[in-house]
Structures are given as structure tokens and as C-alpha cells.
Amino acid sequence: MPKLDSSRSPKLFVYDLGQCDRHKCTGLRLARRGWVTRLSSSRFVHRRGLLLDPLSECAVSRSDRGRALQGGITAVDCSWARADDVIWLHLRGVHRALPYLLAANPVNYGKPSQLSTAEALAASLYILGFRPEAERLLSLFKWGAGFIALNKRLLESYSEAADSREVVELQEAFASYRAIEHR
């Protein structure tokens, strides 16, 4: 499977905090295969690129496409159980959160917003308009196609939103719909 062409799509980085099970770590697997650059220090997190930050009030949107092409996309690879310990404010980059999506990885299947590093990077690529690249990245995992299938409607909607505000509005509308559906 060919790697991503960094002249046509954003470079991908993983800031590895070494907290997760190395056998299940999707960020490490992507690094071993040469799909991402592994960062071991926060000083290497790129200032101009996107930093995926679950605490950010701004969501990834297609308006971030140019910034991602210029500076890449960085995901922080840490355990969800210890994500609150990450000092997000000290990490450089343009902080962006991913909108509501369901995990398809075997550890967190079906859990909202508990994405693996590979799912987070792929979701970002998809929302930014790099759908083939997202699908190629996920093809490295048995469950990868399941992530796209599980979130297809959401990913399509988010990728059509003009900016963060629209992505957040879509997310809130979907959450309201889900709440009514489960009554």
C-alpha cells in the first residue's frame, strides 16, 4: 500500500507520550510503516500546523486545509485514561478538536469521541477534503473501513461545512437528534 504523498496531502505527525499498549498503539504502527513522523518531544510539535486537541473549542474544518498543507497535522498519542494529564496549553500548533464521531477500533468500538490516533488522523484528513488519503491510512487496520462506514454520514457533513462554527452546529444538531432517537 503506497504511503501518503506529502506534496498533495498534509504531513502527519504523532507526538508519542509512551502511555499506551505498544502492541495496540495505532500511532506507533503508522510510524513503523513510515506513514507518520513520530515526535518524542513537545518542542517538535509544529507551530503552524494543526494540533488535534480534544479540549479545543474550535473544530477541524475545511477552512483549515491550507494550514494543514503548510504545517501538517499532529496527533497526541496517549492513553484516554490519562488524557487529562496532558498539558494541552503548552503544546504548540493551531489547536483543533474533532467533532462527534464513533470509534471503530477494537478497544473502544462504538464509544463516542474515543478515537485511536489512526482514526483521529484519518477523520482530520477526511474532513479537510483528503478522503482517499484517509481511506488509504485506515486500510492498514482490519477495522479501518469500519470507521468510515460507521461515521460516513457525519464525516460527509463535517467535510462540507465551511468553518469550525458550522461543524460545531452540525455536531450539536446530530447530538440533539440522537437524544430524541434514544428516548
Supply the pLDDT for residue 24: 65
Q: What is the pLDDT of residues 47-97, one digit of tens each?
A: 679 999 888 899 999 999 999 999 999 998 765 455 555 555 567 789 999
Give how many domains the chain has, as a whole number. 1
| In-domain check, residue 103 | yes
| In-domain check, residue 7 | no
| In-domain check, residue 1 | no
Domain extent at residue 133: 12-181
Supply the pLDDT for residue 43: 55
User: How many of the other CB atoms lie within 10 Å of CB of 32?
Assistant: 11
Supply the pLDDT for residue 92: 74
| In-domain check, residue 6 | no
| In-domain check, residue 112 | yes
| In-domain check, residue 5 | no
The alpha carbon dihedral of 57, 64, 165, 131 has a sign of negative
Supply the pLDDT for residue 28: 81
The alpha carbon dihedral of 161, 131, 102, 39 has a sign of negative
| In-domain check, residue 4 | no
pLDDT (tens place) for every residue of the chain, 183 residues total: 555 555 589 999 988 766 565 666 788 889 889 998 888 765 555 567 999 988 889 999 999 999 999 999 999 876 545 555 555 556 778 999 999 999 999 988 999 888 999 999 999 999 999 999 999 999 999 999 999 999 999 999 999 999 999 999 999 998 776 656 555
| In-domain check, residue 3 | no
The alpha carbon dihedral of 89, 90, 94, 95 has a sign of negative
Supply the pLDDT for residue 183: 52
Q: How many whole angstroms from its chain centre is CA 165?
A: 18
**Rounded-to-integer distance, Cα 129 and Cα 115, Å:** 19
Question: CA dist 151 to 6, 24, 35, 123, 141, Å?
Answer: 25, 22, 23, 9, 16
